């Protein structure tokens, strides 16, 4: 794994219908009991996962709809053109209405003039936002997590922490986790290797992994299907805290759906 100065582009293309699994090593497919590793590459514990989060069925249409909505909500309209009323100049009639032998014109900033306004051009006021119901968002998230777990692409780590930002320490931790979990591709894949989900914000950890172009860190509470499907593997730090966060979100979604 090589360190680069560029962060991973989180807007990479996401394949929903079929996530490539060629070359993925076989792992324990028991969706309710998985090992938890340490940063040094040892097996610390075994954790039982809730069925409602990691045992949900794959819902392709729902995941597709939520991903399109999330990406649409992230769009920032940049292209912006000015109309004839916004461009500079054109206050005086270029020539009198009749008697010149030329066509009639009222302003040099008409769309048919060079330097004039633009007709039906893109405007930055346009909104691409789409509404996503809380229950839909959570159902799509659990569907993606369950699919990732069944394919052996989720790794649980009890804790990831550094006293100070150190890229070398982060590299050694990833290599140790890759060796312990039996997934060497985790430390050798050059593009979109893994998403590291932290239980809480930790600037030292974020800075330690920021120099790797194939890794990205994010808090568990901010996870969405787009992030998870963008990367091949998902490393979840402190899974017990993650389960509490998702259980609270599940209860909130159910409560909203019954009102």
Calpha distance 63→114 (Å, rounded): 47
Calpha distance 165→207 (Å, rounded): 6
Calpha distance 198→242 (Å, rounded): 9
- How many Cα atoms occupy the beta-carbon half-sphere of 118 within 13 Å? 8
Calpha distance 145→142 (Å, rounded): 5
Task: Look at strands 154-157 and 233-237 and give their pairing.
Answer: parallel
Task: List, for residues 53-92, the tens digit of each pLDDT value.
Answer: 999 999 999 999 999 999 999 999 999 999 999 999 888 9
Within a 10 A sphere around the Cβ of 28, how many other Cβ atoms? Answer: 11
Calpha distance 148→197 (Å, rounded): 14
Tracing tokens 């900033």 back to the chain, one arrives at 109
Per residue of the chain (259 residues), what is the pLDDT tens digit? 554 444 444 444 555 544 444 344 444 444 478 999 999 999 988 999 999 999 999 999 999 999 999 999 999 999 999 999 999 988 899 999 999 999 999 999 999 999 999 999 999 998 999 999 999 999 999 999 999 999 999 999 999 999 999 999 999 999 999 999 999 999 999 999 999 999 999 999 999 999 999 999 999 999 999 999 999 999 999 999 999 999 888 887 777 655 5
Full-model pTM: 0.78
């Amino acid at each position: 794994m090589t360190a680069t100065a560029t962060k991973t582009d989180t807007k990479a293309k996401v394949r929903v219908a079929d996530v490539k699994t060629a070359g993925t090593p076989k792992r324990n497919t028991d969706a309710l009991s998985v090992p938890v590793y340490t940063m040094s590459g040892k097996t610390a514990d075994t954790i039982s996962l809730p069925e409602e989060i990691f045992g949900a069925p794959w819902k392709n249409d729902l995941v597709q709809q939520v991903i399109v909505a999330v990406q649409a909500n992230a769009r920032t309209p940049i292209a912006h053109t000015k109309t004839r009323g916004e461009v500079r100049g054109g206050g005086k009639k270029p020539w009198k209405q009749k008697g010149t032998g030329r066509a009639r014109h009222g302003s040099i900033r008409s769309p048919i003039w060079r330097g004039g306004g633009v007709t039906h051009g893109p405007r930055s006021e346009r909104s691409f936002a789409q509404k996503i119901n809380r229950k839909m968002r959570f159902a799509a998230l659990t569907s993606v997590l369950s699919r990732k777990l069944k394919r052996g692409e989720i790794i649980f780590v009890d804790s990831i922490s550094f006293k100070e930002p150190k890229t070398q320490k982060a590299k050694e931790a990833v290599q140790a986790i890759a060796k312990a979990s039996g997934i060497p591709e985790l430390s050798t894949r050059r593009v979109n290797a893994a998403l590291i989900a932290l239980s809480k914000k930790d600037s030292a950890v974020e800075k330690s992994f920021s120099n790797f172009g194939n890794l990205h860190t994010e808090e568990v509470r901010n996870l969405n299907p787009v992030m998870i499907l963008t990367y091949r593997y998902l490393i979840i730090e402190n899974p017990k805290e993650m389960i509490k966060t998702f259980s609270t979100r599940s209860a909130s979604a159910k409560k909203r759906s019954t009102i």
